Structure 1
Amino acid sequence: MGQYSIGDLAQSSLLRLQSTRMKADLLQLSQELSTGMVADVGVHLAGDLGYYADVEKNLRLLDGYDLAAKEASQFADSTQSVLDRVASLLGSSVQSTLPAATTAYQDVRDHASMDARNDLEAVIASLNGTSAGRSLFAGAATDTLPLISSTVFIDTMLAALPPITDPASLVTAVEDWFSDPAGFDAMAYQGSTNDISPVPIGEDLLVNMSVRADSDPLKEVMKGLALAAVATDPAWGFDHLEQVEVFDAASGIMLTAQSRLTALQSDIGAAQERIETTLTRNAAARIGFEQARLSLVGADPFETATRLDDVQLRLESLYAVTARMSRLSLVNYF
């Protein structure tokens, strides 16, 4: 009976081929053991990828929604923080303006005007704040500061006022400047008249966080502070009773502004709550889709580890045989 053999070169090529295959198997099994997923999804699912593709698509959608929701959360948190600051500054001025509306002491009124001016400048600086490089209160123009500099705001308003003859004319002039499109809106507001677009944070879920510096509640805040800030301006020539009249009007505007500002904070708070609720819902949905993916293409860790040990043992055996064959010599047969 004849015997068949292969030459040394063919045998060497065969050993290299076996080594390459086992190394590839070793790499694949190591990957599956570390990731917990099969390396070749198509083979594992026998080409039926429809359900798996749908699961992957939903996971990618959740990635996008989560990123948008987290950015929206940061924007809303920053907006709320500024509104809290504005409310605090307004409350401080209310505390000094109310006594100024009843006192006969000039020092008290001068102090109240100075407080109002400082608080107005701080409010404007706060409304010009940004989050991740985007303006918070400029509407769709997120690359623009919404208001002119706080240091020129009062001067810009005063330069636009008509001649003032009495407290009533001052109050009317300041109110008109804030409500006239050719006044505050044209001279002090630099942002967009369009709101920032609602942000999609989930399937069929949008959140609107737009609060512009030209909104009525914020204009009311600045109006009350501005009126109190100029109440004692010597240019008017008001006596103490006339100054008291201006402070009385300013305090009334500020108290109205406080309630409107609270409503604005409540709106942002509702947006924050909606974002957090959606993030929680998205996280629960993600768990469900990840479990579905694991059931489809998950690699059994025990089976994978067993196969990995087997391939490693066979590869070591192959290396031992190769090394042994490399030492063969005809001298050993004589």
Structure 2
Amino acid sequence: MRTVGPPTLLTAQRFATASASLRRDSETARIELSTGRLADLPAALGGRIGEASSLRAALDAIAVRRQGLQQADLVAAASQRALSAIDEGARPLATDALAANGRGDNAALATAALEARSRVEAAFSNLNIKVAGQFLFSGDATDRPPLAGADALIADVEAIYAGAADAAALDAALDFYFDDPAGGFQTTIYRGGAGPAPSIEIAGGERGAFTARADDPSIRDVLRGLAVIAAAGAAPPSALRDGALSSAGAVSLDGTDGLIARRTDIGVEERRAAEALTGLDDEEAALTEAYNAATARDPLDAATRLQALEAQLNASLVATSRLSQLTLANFLR
């Protein structure tokens, strides 16, 4: 039976402690070699740690700002696509409906009515888009879609058309429905918030808006014109129908002009965000260079230190292994 004497036990304990320390140091050296950066900044930099901490904080702040600008770009791009799709669908249809109405082409008007219904549904789908967990056109109520069903809007306009005595009465009823806060559009169709969509910081505390609300006047005009074309285009010829289609075409075109203006506003903010992102890239490059200079670990020194530590660790493990093989007889010799 092997027995270890007290001196050997104490020596073995010292070797075990030394080996554990060498393992930790070797792991630190290995990390420094793989990352190219000092592992323990406070110990390595001493009084210069404040400078490195400030640089790191500045780089972290840039990362947050970059995330915001990337979010702005995502929101703006999605908003532009949605508004562009609505414009491209409504403008040619309104033009065709006006032309067909002018020449009394009932077949073309019936086709326009069907297409108008489809365009209303597509517009609702575009305006109810959700990006990064938020509904873009819901104003400050980004947790819910901004619009109810397209069928509800068309049904309301069909009822208004059916109840109108003439074109003037129809326009008055439509004005109330779409433009008055107590009208049907605001009370039953639009479900977004009353405030603007959350703005996003661009630079130096300046913020920008990268979308619009689904109850924007230009959007309401487009939806109004399309819904009236859908309702009146399929109706029998009459002075009411002619007046309704003439007004609907003009309102739709006014609305698409407004959409272009909204897209231009968003485009201006997009350019500002892109310029800010470029400036952020330059700032980040300068800060990264300074931070690397302050915290970088020379790869040759790191490799040399790792090799030395691993050699010491191997020697310590060999010595510990030999101690464990000692017997009482060997100890007494």
Normalising by structure 1, what TM-score?
Answer: 0.88
Number of the residue aligned with 1:290: 288
- Give the Cα–Cα distance (whole angstroms) in 1 for the partners of residues 227 and 331 of structure 2: 108
Any stretches of 5+ residues in structure 1 without a counterpart? 1-5
Number of the residue aligned with 1:204: 205
- Give the Cα–Cα distance (whole angstroms) in 1 for the partners of residues 210 and 331 of structure 2: 87
Normalising by structure 2, what TM-score?
Answer: 0.89
Conserved? CA contact 2:116–2:230, under 8 Å = yes
Number of the residue aligned with 1:215: 216
Letter in 2 for 1:289: L
Give the 5 Å matches for 1:155-304. 155-159=155-159, 163-183=163-183, 184-232=185-233, 234=235, 238-239=237-238, 242-304=240-302
Letter in 1 for 2:10: A
- TM superposition shift of 1:163: 4.1
Letter in 1 for 2:260: T
Structure 1 residues 161 and 243: CA distance shift in structure 2, 3 A: closer
The 3-state SS of whatever aligns with 1:197 is: coil
- Give the Cα–Cα distance (whole angstroms) in 1 for the partners of residues 190 and 40 of structure 2: 59
Letter in 2 for 1:108: A
Number of the residue aligned with 2:62: 62
Number of the residue aligned with 2:17: 17
Number of the residue aligned with 2:8: 8
- Give the Cα–Cα distance (whole angstroms) in 1 for the partners of residues 316 and 163 of structure 2: 102
Question: For 2:305, which of 304, 307, 312 is the aligned residue?
Answer: 307
- Give the Cα–Cα distance (whole angstroms) in 2 for the partners of residues 189 and 132 of structure 1: 21
Q: Does 1:43 align with 2:43?
A: yes
Letter in 2 for 1:113: A
Conserved? CA contact 1:117–1:225, under 8 Å = yes
Matched-pair identity in %: 25
Number of the residue aligned with 1:3: none
Letter in 2 for 1:319: L
Conserved? CA contact 2:136–2:197, under 8 Å = no
Any stretches of 5+ residues in structure 2 without a counterpart? 1-5
- Give the Cα–Cα distance (whole angstroms) in 2 for the partners of residues 150 and 216 of structure 1: 17
- Give the Cα–Cα distance (whole angstroms) in 2 for the partners of residues 64 and 53 of structure 1: 17
C-alpha distance after superposition, 1:15-54 (max 9, x if no partner):
1222122111101101111111111111111144221221
Conserved? CA contact 1:125–1:149, under 8 Å = no
Letter in 1 for 2:229: A
- Give the Cα–Cα distance (whole angstroms) in 2 for the partners of residues 151 and 75 of structure 1: 27
Give the 5 Å matches for 1:70-149. 70-149=70-149
